[in-house]
Amino acid sequence: MYYLTHKIEFPDVSLATKEGLLAIGGDLSVERLLLAYKNGIFPWFTDGEPILWWSPNPRFVLFPENLKVSKSMKQVMRNKDFKVTVNSAFEEVIHKCSKTKRVGQPGTWITQSMIDAYIELHHLGYAKSVEVWQDETLVGGLYGIDLGNGVFCGESMFSKVSNASKVGFISFIQNSNYKLIDCQLHTNHLESLGAEEMSRNRFLDYLS
């Protein structure tokens, strides 16, 4: 296993374990995070753990043209019960994502240090949020990283009412010009929306 030092660098992603774990340690500085994302690497760890850096193979991604919207979701979108905005409440979105309980996870992986780091990335224009409002109340949203290369790296989403996060995700994709959405790891929810597996090498080609 590769242990990071103060030097801003990562080992070759081909050295990742079968599960995708590449390195341990380092920090969550802007420089290190941007280097990570540009090389298909992302941090994922829980409170009390050292920083863990991942580069899974295969990668789970979504081509916007393959987005699947069910008839029921199309009806939800047409009803206009929700209002969707972008970058209007980043800090509120990431805090709500951090408090969302995940099946099989005893705690949150969005630690305070992660929150602080991504808020800084947001201020620099790299991290984006999508907000879903109902009667002026924030009921869903998501956030991720935009490196300006046509790939949006989704990080987390939350939903307080049924379909809220789906509406935000679908609306964001339909109204953007991304060539690829990085979903990182497989979930049944994202698969139902059209996400699929892609080899790590092919994913890296898209990043470059």
CB of 37 closer than 8 Å to CB of 31: no
Residue 1 is predicted with a pLDDT of 78
Residue 26 banded pLDDT, cuts 50, 70, 90: very high
- pLDDT at 105 exceeding the cut of 50: no
d(CA 75, CA 155): 27
d(CA 8, CA 133): 39
CATH 2.30.30.100 fits 2-58, yes or no: no
Residues spanned by CATH 3.30.70.3550 within the chain?
2-58
Residues 118-146 pLDDT 10s: 999 999 999 999 999 999 999 999 999 99
Residues 193-202 pLDDT 10s: 999 999 999 9
Residues 153-201 pLDDT 10s: 999 999 999 999 999 999 999 999 999 999 999 999 899 999 999 999 9
CATH 3.40.630.70 fits 60-198, yes or no: yes
Residues spanned by CATH 3.40.630.70 within the chain?
60-198
- All residues at 6 or more sequence positions from 55 whose CB lies less than 8 Å from its CB, including other chains: 13, 16, 20, 22, 39, 40, 41, 42, 200
The secondary structure of residue 108, as a DSSP letter, is: -
- pLDDT at 87 exceeding the cut of 80: yes
Strands (E), the chain: 2-4, 21-25, 42-43, 52-54, 59-62, 83-86, 127-134, 137-146, 151-159, 180-184, 196-198
Kindly report the pTM of this predicted structure: 0.93
The predicted model gives 95-101 an average pLDDT of 87
Residue 108 is predicted with a pLDDT of 59
User: b/e map of 92-115 (b: 16 or more CB within 10 Å)?
Assistant: ebbebbbeeeeeeeeebbbbeebb
